Amino acid sequence: MIIQESNDFVHTLAFQIPKQGKICCGDSFYINATEDYLICALADGLGSGEYANESSSAICTLVEENHHEDVEVLIDLCNKVLRNKRGATVSILKVDFKSKKFTYSSVGNIRFVFSLPSGSYIYPIPILGYLSGKPQKYRTQTYSYERGSKFIIHTDGLVLPAVKELLNQSHSVEELSQSLSKYTKVGNDDLTYIVGQLF
Interface residues with Mn ion (CB under 5 A) are 44, 155-157, 189
Rounded to the nearest whole angstrom, what is the least distance from the CB of residue 45 to Mn ion in the complex? Answer: 8
- How far CA 158 is from CA of 9, 48, 68, 99, 193, in Å, comes to 27, 15, 29, 32, 8
Rounded to the nearest whole angstrom, what is the least distance from the CB of residue 192 to Mn ion in the complex? Answer: 9
Backbone angles phi, psi at 15, to 5 degrees: -130, 140
Comparison of 150 and 154: residue with beta carbon closer to Mn ion: 154
Comparison of 18 and 157: residue with beta carbon closer to Mn ion: 157
Rounded to the nearest whole angstrom, what is the least distance from the CB of residue 81 to Mn ion in the complex? Answer: 19
Comparison of 131 and 198: residue with beta carbon closer to Mn ion: 131
Comparison of 16 and 115: residue with beta carbon closer to Mn ion: 16
Comparison of 56 and 115: residue with beta carbon closer to Mn ion: 56
Rounded to the nearest whole angstrom, what is the least distance from the CB of residue 127 to Mn ion in the complex? Answer: 17
Rounded to the nearest whole angstrom, what is the least distance from the CB of residue 189 to Mn ion in the complex? Answer: 4
